[in-house]
Amino acid sequence: MADKSVKERAALADCLAFLGCLACAGLGATLLCASSTAGMAFHGLLLLVASLVALGFVVEFSFDSLRRIPTGYMDGPIKVAAVAALIWGIASFVVGDLIAWQLAFPALDLDLPWTSFRALA
């Protein structure tokens, strides 16, 4: 019973992806044809091409009755985001600490204007 609901949800997601690609392709074609400026027409063409490529991928990899439904967690993106947050947290701590030390002891800016966070007199 649970396997049937998972397949139904996958089929619904495939249909929504297909319709979303068609809607974006229609918007791109509208921008391409109805635009009065060359820049907007170019961006409409980019949207149209990207939507058609995405539509090709949706048709290629979706609507497959034999595809395997993943049963586990996909935690790869979560691990990457956690590592990136850790790196940016350490970097911001170092910069904040440097700014605090320079405000407390103005001699630490080494008389270089690009390392100073205080008003120069």
Residue range 36-83, pLDDT digits in tens: 999 899 999 999 999 999 999 888 877 665 566 566 777 888 999 999
Query: pTM (2 decimals)?
Result: 0.52
Per domain, the residue ranges of the chain are 1-72, 74-121
The structure tokens 């993106």 sit at 77
Please, are residues 32 and 41 in contact by the beta-carbon 8 Å criterion?
Answer: yes
Please, are residues 44 and 30 in contact by the beta-carbon 8 Å criterion?
Answer: yes
